């Protein structure tokens, strides 16, 4: 399963590079970067932007039938890559403190990433063409029906958690701007 998962290997490589940069900052500053300093904010902003791209760009490509920019399989790889790297950056942004709304947002982020791995597993169990179209004759009708039911159930869980995550993230960003920036 992982030998063809270039997006996971690229995300892993990006995480190693990011971890190296983070470790360098820790060594230079002799402490964990605060979520509110320039590096911490940068991690949070860039991670959140990647997470927004994960959601918005892939969803638009899936749903807008008139625009066919790139193969769906490439967009899914992009979705997985940004869906791993973005949350990792946001995790580093927390400064390893998980209090209040920021803690809830981090928890939702972890849950959505785990849910994404489950969805990817279910998705890869169904044989598809390069464009992502299910190969109907490859599975018995009953197994295919079962896999589609599992995927539908997964969507009914994954999408609302994602919506809750982004709602909490926007509230967190608004509160951080208000309390840390506008009041000072």
Q: How many domains does the chain have?
A: 1
Residue 160: inside a domain: yes
pLDDT tens by residue, 159-169: 999 999 999 99
Whether the CB-CB separation of 169 and 105 falls below 8 Å is answered with yes
pLDDT at 143: 83
Residue 68: inside a domain: yes
The answer to whether residue 70 scores a pLDDT higher than 80 is: no
User: Structure pTM?
Assistant: 0.80
Distances (CA, A) of 64 to 30, 123, 159: 49, 21, 18
Range of the domain at 82: 6-182
Residue 88: inside a domain: yes
Helix (H) or strand (E) holding 150: helix 141-176
Residue 1: inside a domain: no
Q: Which of 89-93, 112-116, 119-123, 158-162 comes out lowest in average pLDDT?
A: 119-123
3-state helix, strand, coil in the chain (%, to 5): 75, 0, 20
Kindly state the average pLDDT of the residues 12-34: 93
């Amino acid at each position: 399963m992982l030998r063809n998962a270039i997006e996971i290997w690229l995300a892993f490589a990006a995480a190693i590079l990011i971890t190296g940069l983070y470790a360098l900052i820790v060594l230079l500053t002799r402490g964990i970067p605060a979520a509110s300093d320039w590096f911490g904010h940068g991690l949070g902003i860039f991670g959140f932007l990647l997470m927004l791209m994960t959601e918005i760009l892939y969803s638009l490509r899936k749903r807008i039938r008139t625009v066919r920019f790139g193969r769906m399989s490439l967009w899914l790889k992009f979705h997985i890559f940004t869906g791993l790297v973005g949350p990792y950056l946001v995790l580093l942004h927390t400064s390893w403190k998980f209090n209040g709304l920021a803690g809830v947002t981090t928890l939702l982020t972890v849950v959505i990433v785990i849910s994404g791995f489950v969805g990817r597993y279910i998705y890869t169990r169904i044989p598809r063409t390069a464009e992502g179209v299910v190969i109907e004759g490859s599975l018995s009708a009953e197994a295919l029906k079962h896999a589609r039911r599992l995927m539908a159930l997964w969507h009914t869980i994954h999408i609302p958690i994602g919506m809750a995550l982004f709602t909490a993230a926007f509230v967190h960003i608004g509160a951080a701007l208000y309390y840390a920036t506008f009041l000072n």
